[in-house]
Amino acid sequence: MNKEDVVVTIDKKSWKDKIKEKGAKIGAWCSNHKEALIVFVPLAVTSTVDIVKTVSKNRANKEEKRLKENFIYDRSSGHYYEVSRALKSSEWLTIDRRKQNGEMLGDILQSMRVLK
């Protein structure tokens, strides 16, 4: 069976009628269960807010960690250098030693072949 063989037609009136019918059912249920709504709506709202806060905080932490691992800031020149991977402790020691000898951070990273 090809895609051309299948024809789907959607009647706009039937969709509108279905939506109106569902809306009426929801409205009737809400008017019949006001006590339950008073209890559950605040609970659902606060739970949703807590979930959104947690997810956004985790996302921000992951983004900050990614930036710290992939970019190195040189205070003397004011440039950010993007590295291809997180540097090892021994590489950071080498960078510190070479910076104390007067080399520029960009030159050090380029000679170590860690720039992206």
Flag whether the pTM goes above 0.75.
no
Contact status, residue 109 vs residue 97, Cβ threshold 8 Å: no
Whole-angstrom distance, CA of residue 23 vs CA of residue 19: 6
Q: What is the pLDDT of residues 52-107, one digit of tens each?
A: 999 999 999 999 998 888 899 988 888 899 999 889 999 999 999 999 999 999 99
Whole-angstrom distance, CA of residue 113 vs CA of residue 109: 6
Cα-trace Rg, the chain: 30
Q: Where are the beta strands (DSSP E) in 19-89?
A: 71-74, 79-82
